[in-house]
Amino acid sequence: MRVSWRSLWRILPALLAFCLLAIQIAIPWIVPHFVTTDGPSHLYTAIVAKKLLFREQPYTSLYRINPQIVPNWASTILLAFCASLVGVRHAEQLMTSLLLAMGFFSISYAIRALSPRALPWTPLSNFLLQTWFLWMGFYNFYLGLVLVPVGIGFYARRNGKLTARQAVMLGAGLVALFFVHLLAAAVLLLALTILMIWLHNVRPALWDRSADSRASDRQALILLGAMTPVILLGLIYVHTTSNGVPFQPNILQSWNEFPMYPFATAAGGAGSQVYLWPVVLGLIIIAALGMRRSEWRSAQGGLAIATLALFLTYLVVPDIGLGGTQVKVRFAWAVFLLGGLLVSSVARLQPLKTPLALFVSACLAFNLTSTVKVAFAYSQAAEDYLSALTGIRPGSTLIRLRYATPDIPERYGVPWVGRDPLMHLDAYTATRLGCIDLSDYQPTTAYFPVIFNSRVDHDKQYELLGLEDINPNEGAVLEGLRRDLPVPIDYAIVVADQSSPAAPLAKAIASGDSGMRLIAQSPAAPFVRVYQRIGAR
């Protein structure tokens, strides 16, 4: 019996990890409406791209595939695949399940590559995957970053010594990662560069002075050759991106704000995981300081330096640039991801693996409970939102005017959670009904696979993008869009709750002499109103 309990104690982290993974995967499936902030827009882009591939109208009359070299292709391809398997309504749920599973096994692969004797299945992986980015619907970045451990594990498993064939495989993986997300590719490039320098320059200088310097130089050239294609792709992308990168670092503020909110999936302490991430951060520091000499001489030493380098990058990197926003919090998550690999693989922390697993599992249980409550609350809000859209005819064109909705969190019992899952439900409706959503933000930018064609000029695209955060004077803009766009606007969806200063204007934007009439609104105190075009535009 003693042996059985001892065996159970050893495998308990793995059991807890898989149980937590099952719960994480199940959460999107147990709510009537699983909604993320940007997910519906990614889904809309995926379906439009599929329609363009088969030259289907009316999409080809307004959209085209982006001819520029851009990242962000992963969500387009994967969501189109998911929609073909389970339909549009469940595509995001399947997408979320796939991302969580891929992230879990990616981290486990890297742990085993760094330390073959370490247990690769740990609830720490579940913590690292339970992030704000997934619930925001930042699918490309989420997938890209959880694939970074695969690249690190691939290089570490070979102790930094690549054959030509392995270099080609790594180079192909880096190119694929670029088309998932630019920042994820940059993180992996940084990590691999530091690992290479550590293993082939620093390690020989400190511990193995008899090492063949020519072999080290050859390995550096092999890795550089593997990285060259993705570096060139990145340079081309930077060159074609219109906006620059504002560089005004505020190191002290960044230090005080670290790690920002990468693990906030619900409100409150449990929802923000404030009881867990400081412990993990402390363990990362302990793991780096407590590594044995043999571990410092391995890829783990380079990983510790790479984790520190990512933290320093977080301190100085601008928060916006190259079409991306909220850059700092992304680097903060990367610090924890690489540091988590270190915690899970360092030998001196292995005796704590089961107590740590129990602590992490307990904290995650509270977080998952809070996350489920928020998911059900926003599912009800989505139900009310979508109930107003049932009268929209399939195949029509629509536009969404979105004002501030400060009443929504209190009305549905959801404290502020740092995201707005109702933001792009118009795109979800357009996808489900085969409509054209003129106000979806992705085709109006140059950073996604689908863009408007030349029939919609740049000024009108800019005005459409402005509908993401509308001003009280945008009624005139709507009239201009209705007059000048190459297709009529069949429906206008106006989102504004009762406390919004623009609510009275929102009610009047598409009424009276504007040529549109109110046909539906959300129940109780309406925050969604749908107007239909009357006659000719």
Query: Of 35, 20, 17, whose CA–CA distance to 408 is shortest?
Result: 35
Residue reference for tokens 């009316």:
58
At 517 the pLDDT is 87
Q: Are 341 and 149 spatial neighbours (Cβ–Cβ below 8 Å)?
A: yes
Q: Are residues 160 and 289 in the same domain?
A: yes
Asked if residue 382 belongs to a domain, the reply is no
The answer, yes or no, to whether residue 511 has pLDDT greater than 60, is no
At 9 the pLDDT is 82
Q: Are residues 240 and 331 in the same domain?
A: yes
Cα–chain-centroid distance for residue 221? 33
Domain boundary residue, one of 372, 396, 421: 372
Number of other residues whose CB lies within 10 A of the CB of residue 331: 26
**Cα(4)–Cα(12) distance, rounded to whole angstroms?**
12
Domain boundary residue, one of 346, 372, 398: 372
**Tokens at 530, concatenated:** 């749908």
C-alpha angle with apex 330: 225 to 420, nearest 5 degrees?
Answer: 140
The answer, yes or no, to whether residue 509 has pLDDT greater than 60, is no
Q: Which is more confidently placed, 50 or 471?
A: 50
The answer, yes or no, to whether residue 475 has pLDDT greater than 60, is no
Domain boundary residue, one of 344, 372, 400: 372
Q: Are residues 352 and 438 in the same domain?
A: no
At 472 the pLDDT is 57
Q: What b-and-e string marks burial along 139-163, b requiring 16 or more CB atoms within 10 Å of the CB?
A: bbbbbbbbbbbbbbbbbbbeebebe
At 249 the pLDDT is 78
The answer, yes or no, to whether residue 1 has pLDDT greater than 50, is no
Q: Are residues 128 and 249 in the same domain?
A: yes
Asked if residue 42 belongs to a domain, the reply is no
Query: Of 127, 118, 181, whose CA–CA distance to 153 is shortest?
Result: 118
Q: Which is more confidently placed, 151 or 245?
A: 151
Q: Are residues 336 and 476 in the same domain?
A: no
Give per-residue pLDDT as tens, 354-385.
Answer: 999 999 999 999 999 999 999 999 999 999 99
Give per-residue pLDDT as tens, 145-168.
Answer: 999 999 999 999 999 999 999 999
Quick one: which H or E segment has residue 325? Answer: strand 324-325
Asked if residue 406 belongs to a domain, the reply is yes
At 508 the pLDDT is 55
C-alpha angle with apex 62: 61 to 63, nearest 5 degrees?
Answer: 110
Asked if residue 41 belongs to a domain, the reply is no
Asked if residue 518 belongs to a domain, the reply is yes
Q: Which is more confidently placed, 84 or 412?
A: 84
Q: Which is more confidently placed, 326 or 505?
A: 326
Q: What is the mean pLDDT of residues 278-294?
A: 96
**Tokens at 257, concatenated:** 């704000």
**Cα(235)–Cα(254) distance, rounded to whole angstroms?**
27
Q: Which of 76-90, 214-228, 318-332, 417-431 has the lowest mean pLDDT?
A: 318-332
Q: Are residues 368 and 394 in the same domain?
A: no
The answer, yes or no, to whether residue 418 has pLDDT greater than 90, is no
Q: Are residues 325 and 417 in the same domain?
A: no
At residue 40, what is the residue type? P
At 57 the pLDDT is 87
At 470 the pLDDT is 67
Asked if residue 149 belongs to a domain, the reply is yes
Q: What is the mean pLDDT of residues 336-341?
A: 98
The answer, yes or no, to whether residue 473 has pLDDT greater than 80, is no
At 242 the pLDDT is 61
Number of other residues whose CB lies within 10 A of the CB of residue 275: 14
C-alpha angle with apex 52: 172 to 458, nearest 5 degrees?
Answer: 95
Q: Are 401 and 505 spatial neighbours (Cβ–Cβ below 8 Å)?
A: no
Q: Are residues 167 and 256 in the same domain?
A: yes
Domain of 471?
A: 388-533
Q: Are 85 and 253 spatial neighbours (Cβ–Cβ below 8 Å)?
A: no
At 316 the pLDDT is 93
Q: Are residues 221 and 308 in the same domain?
A: yes
Query: Of 102, 4, 88, whose CA–CA distance to 39 is shortest?
Result: 88
At 534 the pLDDT is 85
Q: Are residues 365 and 393 in the same domain?
A: no
Q: Are residues 349 and 405 in the same domain?
A: no
CA distance readout (Å), 235 to 70, 182, 196, 232, 322: 11, 11, 22, 5, 11
**Tokens at 48, concatenated:** 């439009």
At 410 the pLDDT is 85
Rounded to the nearest 10°, the torsion over CA 266, 268, 274, 275 is -110
The answer, yes or no, to whether residue 259 has pLDDT greater than 80, is yes
Q: Is the peptide bond before 120 cis (omega within 30 degrees of 0)?
A: no
The answer, yes or no, to whether residue 323 has pLDDT greater than 70, is no
Asked if residue 22 belongs to a domain, the reply is yes
**Cα(284)–Cα(280) distance, rounded to whole angstroms?**
6
Helices of type H across 273-389: 277-289, 293-296, 299-316, 327-345, 353-387
Q: Are residues 209 and 78 in the same domain?
A: yes
Q: In sequence order, what are the beta bridge partners of 63?
A: 452
At 338 the pLDDT is 98
The answer, yes or no, to whether residue 217 has pLDDT greater than 90, is no
The answer, yes or no, to whether residue 503 has pLDDT greater than 60, is no
At 357 the pLDDT is 96
CA distance readout (Å), 484 to 487, 488, 493, 535: 8, 9, 19, 17
- Mean pLDDT over the full length of the chain: 90
**Cα(509)–Cα(511) distance, rounded to whole angstroms?**
6
Q: Are 61 and 455 spatial neighbours (Cβ–Cβ below 8 Å)?
A: yes
Q: Are 187 and 148 spatial neighbours (Cβ–Cβ below 8 Å)?
A: yes
pLDDT range class, residue 238, cuts 50, 70, 90: confident
Residue reference for tokens 């619907």:
137
**Rounded to the nearest 5°, which phi and psi values hold at 402?**
-115, 120
At 501 the pLDDT is 58
pTM over 0.85: yes
Asked if residue 53 belongs to a domain, the reply is no
The structural domain count of the chain equals 2
Give per-residue pLDDT as tens, 77-99.
Answer: 999 999 999 999 999 999 999 99
Strands 397-402 and 491-495: parallel
At 219 the pLDDT is 92
Percentage of the chain exceeding pLDDT 70 = 93
